Structure 1
Amino acid sequence: MGTKRNCVVDIDTGKASCFGTYRELVATVTGGAVSDAPADARTALSSDSFRAKMESLSKSAVAATPESGNADNRPHSTAGSGLQATAPTKIIIETAYDGVNYDGGSVSFASSTGPCSISQGFELADLRSVSRGADSNWDNRINSFVTFGQCVAQHYTEPKFPSSKGGLLPWTNKMSAKELDGFIGGNPFRDSISSVRWKYRPTDKEALLACDNKTATRCTNNVESSTVDTPNRSIAVSNANCTDIPQQMSVEWEKTEESTVSTGGELTFTFGSDVNFLVFKGTFEASYMQSWGLAWTNSTTFRVNTAQQVSPKSLGMMYYGPKIETVHGTATVDIHGMILHIPYTAKRALETQASIIWTERKLTAAELSNPNLCGTTGITSHRLI
């Protein structure tokens, strides 16, 4: 297949072209709007910042209706809107892989009239008709895929969208070969996709609210990994001793760190907020407990009540930084046959692993003559968090 293993199909024209890296492909397709994508398509899948940029680009685009008169086998938009595009940037609506786990060669599908909207979808009636000119034929080759541009996709094992039960996959935004194999009635789907349709998908917020108001058929959560990050410390308290003798200075403060969840830039909320997405929280907390045997906390409060001895003409500083646990997982929402996989990152401060460091340095001549720093008594304390 050569070195150019990242191809793109323009849904508007059917033209295919290939690139040496996924970064080069994305930069070219988006007109430079996203120029720092990961070099390979597999890494891009797990990059929160890349997904956030792609979704932000989709939101900034305005859908346009292509000219009518498409031939049966020509890829075309199914839009009903008469809006005109305000920018030439193409929107990538799917990246598919020939590897079984989002790896190997990739083909992306893009349109200048994207993204998907309530009134606009897209379709490719026959992958054979758009593969010419690419590295190789992508008919009967897709083994995993992920969508962008506020789209979900339905993949078919035959051209022109057969309606037989064994010939199509559910509407979804992400699926691997493990799930593709025997999805319905034991029918194999590896290396067998020949036509694709895309349509608008609910936002992450809409999907999670569907769990809360019970309009979703099924809501599950899978915690996949947990790491503890080295804390980023900042100055919490500074104690200035401008006198000629050591001073014992009291330090008392309290700070609450809220636990948060982010879904790739589209949605961020705290576990302690009014909008809790209760079903998401419940399934997440149960999955976390099952995986790690620990209870998740909505917030963590750190309290310090101590004293610091500060040397003469010195500034004592207390640096504070809790260790942060970062959890990656996927929430899956089934809305009457539309299956949405929502990757997320949850973070919380670990109560027993706060990092507090005391340091001090000599005050400069300018600082010693500064009344705001030394005050009338020669000692001051400033809380900075």
Structure 2
Amino acid sequence: MPSPAAAAQAPETKPDSHCAMNAETGSVTCYDTFRESVAAATGGRITDAPAPEKAGKDKRFLAKLNAPSREPARAGTAGAHSRAASGVVRVVLYEHAHYEGSSLTVWGPRWCKNDGKWDGEIEKLGGTWNDSVSSLIPANSCHVELFSDPYFQGARQLYTSSTPYVGHAMNDRASSLGLT
């Protein structure tokens, strides 16, 4: 039986994780730092990302994030670390308001076209990301539509710019998303 002192100790909290997800394949790789996840998602183009809570307000970082890649992505290249496979960050999702907590950097081979058609989707936000999004940074002309249920069902909300709080209606409710 644990001692009263041991029972009173707070449970161990998990450290924040910072993951990069290839929107085309759905593969996810997690890193110890936000900087590492952004470097992986951009194929090493951005290696000096600020602390996650500063990213949504850092004009220099946002300009780099939205700058065209000098290398076009090539179909068939593998891995988040390949410069040619990198590329284009579409959205950064955050676990907490004001860009805090864990992050998921979703990337793909090209910018969003903004033509009303989806340029990417996640039909089920799995694992720790289901019902966990509280802030986000859309990038590279992408608009992000969050849905409260998997497979683009339920309540929906569209975001077109850095959003330090997704609002009461969508906070910790997103289960799928579309990128347009």
Fold-level similarity (TM above 0.5): yes
One-letter code of the match for 2:28?
A
Deviation at 1:4, TM superposition (A): 4.8
Which one has the bigger strand percentage?
Answer: 1
Secondary structure in structure 2 of the residue aligned to 1:105: strand
| Candidates 114, 117, 121, aligned match of 2:113 | 117
- 1:145 equivalent to 2:136? Answer yes
Runs of 4+ aligned residues of structure 1 deviating over 4 Å after TM superposition are: 60-66
- 1:107 equivalent to 2:94? Answer no
- 1:194 equivalent to 2:175? Answer yes
| Candidates 143, 157, 162, aligned match of 1:169 | 157
Change (3 A) 1:61 1:126: farther
Q: 5+ unaligned residues in a row in structure 2: which ranges?
A: 1-12, 77-82
Q: How do 1:1-385 residues align onto structure 2 when only pairs under 5 Å count?
A: 2-38=14-50, 40-58=51-69, 60=70, 62=72, 87-111=84-108, 113-118=109-114, 121-128=119-126, 131=127, 137-162=128-153, 167-177=155-165, 179-181=166-168, 188-199=169-180
Number of aligned positions between the proteins: 160
Pairwise CA RMSD of aligned residues?
2.5
Whole-Å separation in 1 of the counterparts to 2:94 and 2:178: 17
Deviation at 1:87, TM superposition (A): 3.1
Deviation at 1:161, TM superposition (A): 1.1
One-letter code of the match for 1:96?
L
Q: Give 2:4's aligned residue.
A: none
TM-score, reference length from structure 1: 0.38
**Which structure has the larger Rg?**
1
TM-score, reference length from structure 2: 0.77
Whole-Å separation in 2 of the counterparts to 1:142 and 1:99: 7
Q: Is the 8 A contact 2:73 2:87 kept in 1?
A: no
Which stretch of structure 1 is more off in the superposition, 16-25 or 115-124?
Answer: 115-124
Structure scoring higher RCO (CA < 8 A, sep ≥ 6) equals 2
Deviation at 1:88, TM superposition (A): 2.3
Whole-Å separation in 2 of the counterparts to 1:114 and 1:25: 18
Secondary structure in structure 1 of the residue aligned to 2:143: strand
Whole-Å separation in 1 of the counterparts to 2:31 and 2:21: 12
Q: Is the 8 A contact 1:64 1:114 kept in 2?
A: no
